[in-house]
Homo-oligomer: A and B are copies of this chain.
Amino acid sequence: MKPSIHEAIRARRLALGLSQIEAARRSGIQQRQVSTFERGGDVTLSTLLKLAQALDVELLPVPREDTAKLESLLKAKRAPAPSTSPPSLLDRYQVKDDEEPSNG
């Protein structure tokens, strides 16, 4: 099941251990936009690009004919680097390799 772009961005943010507030601060958008977007709401491309940049993510337009190959490549690469920051308040969101964040 392929995650939507919304879900993917959210996952990325959590993987980086960032709160919406911090992501918003870094990208210069409002926390509200982060929340709205992650929940599937609409934002302008410029807003999304700011957020993506703050999350060190690129929005790559890929022809459908190529997606399969790329996705298998991405999936195969799930090997998170050792965390350089100490576990902090956001620790509960740290996405582990084989563990899902409690998703109610």
Chain A residues in the interface with B (C-beta under 8 A) = 5, 8-9, 12, 37, 42-46, 48-49, 52, 56-67, 69-71, 73-74, 77
Contact = CB atoms under 8 A, between A and B. Distances in A.
Contact of A61 (B8, B67, B73): B8
The 10 lowest CB-CB distance pairs between A and B, nearest first, are A8-B61, A56-B64, A60-B60, A42-B46, A57-B61, A60-B62, A58-B62, A42-B44, A58-B67, A70-B70
B48 A45 contact: yes
B63 A61 contact: no
Contacts of A63: 12, 56-58
Contacts of A59: 5, 59-62
